[in-house]
Structure 1
Amino acid sequence: ILAYSLAVVHLIVTLASDFPFGVVKLIPFTVHGWIERMVGPLLIAIPFILNFSTEEAARNFYIAMGAIIIVVGMLTDYQAEVRGGKIK
């Protein structure tokens, strides 16, 4: 339930972000970046915070998803301006 809930929140944030794939464009792209900078490490910590780190599959899933978000965040220019539907 937690993974699906977080996926729905991530989808909503993505659709509400001001970048080409955003639909509503309410959240500035820089704020989207800060959200991802917080979510990546939090996903890695969740199995330990919520006491399910002994469940290997669940623990590894959250660690992998957190690592992926961290890497994508490092490769993304969240300062890019959006003009005419394209990030420049």
Structure 2
Amino acid sequence: MRFVPPRVHGVLDYLFAGLFIVAPFWFGFVSRVAQLSSFAFGGAILLLSLLTRYPLGVLRVIPFPVHGGIELVSSVALIALPWLGRFGDTPVARNFFVATGVILFGLWLTTDYKAAEQDQAGAWRRGLHGRA
């Protein structure tokens, strides 16, 4: 069931970060909390992606399975955020956060989080000490 490889996951992470950063403008969020939450989540996923040990990571300090755990918690938080942030009565922002939370949960369910670690271990065994 886990068929999304690390490289594809990385591309989706960066696209997701960009989506959250532009969403308040693109969708016209009227709630200030929704706007700030979207910017914060976009920045957080960008930072997480840059720091993750997978093909599109830059510093590669966070193991990919840990990245997955953070995404699982984030997916639940995104779904709950409209009500926790008191913008559940604004349909556009509410639907955006719930939909992206569901999509992120689906990505978590289908990503092979062990593949990046296995690729890295294989590279070390082959003597390729650079980035995998």
TM-score of the alignment, normalized to the shorter chain, above 0.5: yes
Q: Which residue of 1 aligns with 2:75?
A: 40
The root-mean-square deviation of aligned C-alpha atoms, in Å, is 0.9
State the identity as a percent: 35
Superposition deviation, residue 51 in structure 1? 1.2
Q: Return the match for 2:110 from 70, 75, 81.
A: 75
List 4+ stretches of structure 1 deviating above 3 A: none
TM-aligned CA deviation for residue 79 of structure 1:
1.9
The answer to whether 1:20 aligns with 2:49 is: no
Unmatched segments (≥5 aa) in structure 1: none
Deviations 1:24-83 (A, max 9, x none): 001011100000010001100000111110000000000011011001111101122232
**Is 1:59 aligned to 2:85, yes or no?**
no
Greater helix share, 1 or 2? 2
Q: How many residues align?
A: 85
Gaps of 5+ in 2: 1-35, 124-131
Amino acid at match of 2:91: E
